[in-house]
Structure 1
Amino acid sequence: MRNLIFTAVLAFTGLFGALAHAQEYQAGKEYVELKSPVPVSQPGKIEVVELFWYGCPHCYAFEPTLNAWVGKLPEDVHFKRVPAMFGGVWNVHGQLFVTLEAMGVEQKVHDAVFNAIHKEHQKLATPDEMADFLAEHGVDREKFLSTYDSFAVKGQVEKDKKLAMAYQITGVPTMVVNGKYRFDLGSAGGPDEALKVADYLIQKERAAQ
């Protein structure tokens, strides 16, 4: 009997702790609830989007923490990156990312692109600069250039621009859960806390299904 009571107390304490933790996160404080939800890319799954820019030092610093978290996501959660494009080199790097995705090599060279810009101080500001760099990492140079200028890539770039506008982002890195909730590292309180906010919102959406 004593063991049963102790177990019940532990369960209640754990539940109380979870509720107390959940109450730490509030709309209008750690995250913003969008007035007009944005459709997700994979209906039936809880979508987490990271909006980023290859040239952003905060995005670069966030990568290891984010990647470790993404690697542990359950099957009902879909993670995707969307390039933020505010003009100039942001658009160039955004088109680079879309091209790599279209070619199916984004996961292979994503980290290398980040390192090239932030460690090796390469600008990768023109298609030729990108093609030369990517060729060193096993990406066909001519195929990259033709894909970069393709109608499909340019169309996706425009879709991503409209998506970022729908999310109403003003900077990066920014995360959006299920097209409804937006937050960034500043509002959340740092990289680790941002992922706790993401976990909370994922659970919130899962409970609502």
Structure 2
Amino acid sequence: MFKRILMIMLLALAPLAVQAQEVYEAGKDYDIINPAIRASDMSKIETAEFFWYGCGHCYTFEPMLAQWKKTLADDVSFRGVPAMWGGAMELHAKAFYAARALDVAEKMDQAMFQALNVDRKPLRSDKEIAQLFVANGVAEEDFYKAYNSFGVSSQVRQANSIARAAKITGTPALMVSGKYMISPRKAGSTANMLKIADYLIEKERAAKGS
């Protein structure tokens, strides 16, 4: 009787074991970045999102990503990296870093996504972006001081260099430890991108532990 009960329990747990052992494959589910990109904080497992405020997929992915970030362990860091392929994208990247310099990142991220995807405002000039910041409580003088600062310009150049090194072809895209690139095309969906990111974070954690 004991053996019979044990067999029933093992059969019941089998699907959970298969799920726990789910493995994603390089080249099929995600890509290897070669050469790898050095992380800004080598003491952490760095994850990064390449995005653009005007990308509709990034806009719909944002709430899901925000919830996922809350689940990250202390040994994992996260940063956003604005993508730039010409047009107004460099201005939007400057706005991203200016918002962080002014400590209004969360408010202005929402405002930028809203303006470009819902309100259909192209934000193709410094003046239009300044007006959006002012409408959200930032003094115009403070905005331009941050927006045109050397620090913001340096961060924009660095973001462009990282995106080129990572060879991103679209947004949103996730990078883990500067080694792995996850795209919606290979992942199958933005939700699956986060599952693959979790898998790769655990892979990096195991490697660090060894």
Q: Note if contact 2:111-2:132 (Cα within 8 Å) is conserved in structure 1.
A: no
- Could you tell me how far apart the structure 2 residues matched to 1:151 and 1:118 are? 29
* Structure-to-structure mapping, 1:80-119, within 5 angstroms: 80-119=79-118
Does the C-alpha gap of structure 1 residues 7 and 135 become closer, same or farther in structure 2, counting only changes over 3 Å?
A: farther
Structure 1 runs of 4+ off > 2 angstroms? 1-17
Superposed CA deviations along residues 155-208 of structure 1, whole A, max 9, x for unmatched, are 111111111111111111111011000011111001111111111111111111
Residues 1-150 of structure 1: pairs in structure 2 closer than 5 A:
2=2, 5=6, 9=10, 14-19=16-21, 21-22=22-23, 25-150=24-149
| TM-aligned CA deviation for residue 6 of structure 1 | 6.9
Count of residue correspondences: 206
- Give, as a single letter, the amino acid of the residue that structure 1 aligns with 2:163: A
In the alignment, structure 2 segments of 5+ residues that lack a partner are: none
Hey, what does 1:197 align to over in structure 2? 196
Q: Residues 168-207 of structure 1: matches in 2 within 5 Å? A: 168-207=167-206
Q: Do the aligned partners of 2:102 and 2:146 also contact (CA within 8 Å) in 1? A: yes
Q: TM-score, normalised by structure 1?
A: 0.91
What SS does the corresponding residue of 2:64 show, helix, strand or coil? helix
Q: Deviations over 1:52-89 (max 9, x none)?
A: 01111111111111111112211111111000111121
TM-score normalized with structure 2 length: 0.90
The 1-side partners of 2:154 and 2:43 are apart by: 25
Identity of aligned residues (%): 39
For the residue of structure 2 that corresponds to 1:29, the secondary structure is coil
User: What stretches of structure 1 of length at least 5 have no aligned partner?
Assistant: none
Aligned residue type for 2:127: D
Amino acid at match of 1:97: F
